[in-house]
Amino acid sequence: ETTVNRIAAGEVIERPAAAVKELVENALDAGAKRIEVILAGGGIERIEIIDDGCGIAAEQLALAIERHATSKLADEALVRITTLGFRGEALPSIGAAAKLTLISRPAEQDSAYRINVSGGAVSEVAPAPGVTGTRAIVEDLFYATPARRKFLRSPRAEAAERTVWRLALAAPHVAFRLVSGERVLFDLPAQTEAARVSALFGRETAASLLPLEAEREDVQLTGLIGPASLSRATMGLQSFVVNGRPVQDPMLRLSLRLAYRDVMQAGRHAVAALRLTLPEEALDVNVHPAKTELRFADANGIRSLVIGAITRTLERPVS
């Protein structure tokens, strides 16, 4: 399964949204308080991620983009990961598929240093201007494999934008700025979860949301849900965060639909921002290399927790 996942990782990373996800997760792992994402051509031409996290020391730069020895991929590490990491495969995969530049400076280092990888060929590490933190620049995602470009001839800018939107919902305590093409899509300070949902769902939609809270054994569910909406503008306003990670999980999506089943009429859809917290042992996030799919040890328990909490919240009389 490891080999299959690794091969899949190489394929997955060439989608701009996947590269963006890995780079932003690295910034979050680095403890960034502020993350800026700048996309050109939907991310195929250029992705730039700037964070103010811990940085990478000059002597670690080459290591960061190297394919890690299998020892780092020991089986238990595969099963249990508590950070958002991609098992040391993300930067090498991006460096193999595109032109990757890292410019990084830990706070205690006298200057920033840079390294380039282009189709797997690695440059020298050299001093470069830069403030504390890391700038990752990905250019020409299909540079190394032009044949694959055919499958994505017109980059879908929305996919990469959506990915940043989901990550920003998952980490409201981190300031996020997203620029795509000429447009600033959002520029948000560190804020509460409710304020972040309001900013990203739209203030009007957010005003109709009800807080939700439920617990079952060692699983906590919190979030905000809205009455089933008819408005096209609210379509797709559904977010699931599990242990801090944004996920697109079929079981969670189905639970949402089942919970809304009775209040849903044709054309209506659920509006919800849900967050689950549970012990890492209770899930395996490595089911899919893009890591947006999960396997819950107790899927039935999670499903009834979600459905029960939503049903109760929707039935609660409006005060």
Give the contacts of 261 (CB within 8 A, at least 6 positions apart). none
Segment near Mg ion (CB under 5 A); pick from 18-26, 55-63, 99-107, 167-175? 18-26
> In the 3-class helix/strand/coil scheme, how is 138-169 assigned residue by residue?
EECCCCCCHHHHHHHCCCCHHHHHHHHHHHHH
Question: Which of residues 23 and 282 has its CB atom nearest to Mg ion in the complex?
Answer: 23
Does 86 interact with Mg ion (rule: CB under 5 A)? yes
**Structure tokens that stand for 122 in this block:** 């690695």
Does 244 interact with Mg ion (rule: CB under 5 A)? no
Find the binder of Mg ion among 41, 85, 119, 308 (CB under 5 A).
85
The least distance separating Mg ion from the CB of residue 81, rounded to whole angstroms, comes to 10
Dihedral (Cα; 272, 79, 288, 279), 10-degree rounding: -10
Does 291 interact with Mg ion (rule: CB under 5 A)? no
Whole-angstrom distance, CA of residue 37 vs CA of residue 175: 11
The least distance separating ligand ADP from the CB of residue 4, rounded to whole angstroms, comes to 18
The burial class, CB within 10 Å (0-12 / 13-18 / 19+), for 190 is middle
Whole-angstrom distance, CA of residue 242 vs CA of residue 260: 21
Residue 54 binding: pick among Mg ion, ligand ADP, none (C-beta 5-8 Å cut-off by kind)? ligand ADP
The three-class DSSP label of residue 308 is helix
The least distance separating Mg ion from the CB of residue 48, rounded to whole angstroms, comes to 17
Does 26 interact with Mg ion (rule: CB under 5 A)? yes
The three-class DSSP label of residue 4 is helix
Whole-angstrom distance, CA of residue 271 vs CA of residue 227: 7
Question: Which of residues 50 and 221 has its CB atom nearest to ligand ADP in the complex?
Answer: 50
8 A C-beta contact, residue 50 and residue 107: no
Whole-angstrom distance, CA of residue 101 vs CA of residue 95: 9
Segment near Mg ion (CB under 5 A); pick from 26-34, 101-109, 264-272, 310-318? 26-34
Residue 5 binding: pick among ligand ADP, Mg ion, none (C-beta 5-8 Å cut-off by kind)? none
Question: Which of residues 53 and 155 has its CB atom nearest to ligand ADP in the complex?
Answer: 53
Which residues are at the interface with ligand ADP (CB under 6 A)?
22, 26-27, 29-30, 51, 53-56, 64, 85-88, 90-91, 134
The least distance separating ligand ADP from the CB of residue 223, rounded to whole angstroms, comes to 27
The least distance separating Mg ion from the CB of residue 80, rounded to whole angstroms, comes to 16
Whole-angstrom distance, CA of residue 6 vs CA of residue 289: 7
The least distance separating Mg ion from the CB of residue 86, rounded to whole angstroms, comes to 4
Question: Which of residues 35 and 247 has its CB atom nearest to ligand ADP in the complex?
Answer: 35
Q: Which residues bind Mg ion (CB under 5 A)?
A: 26, 85-86, 90
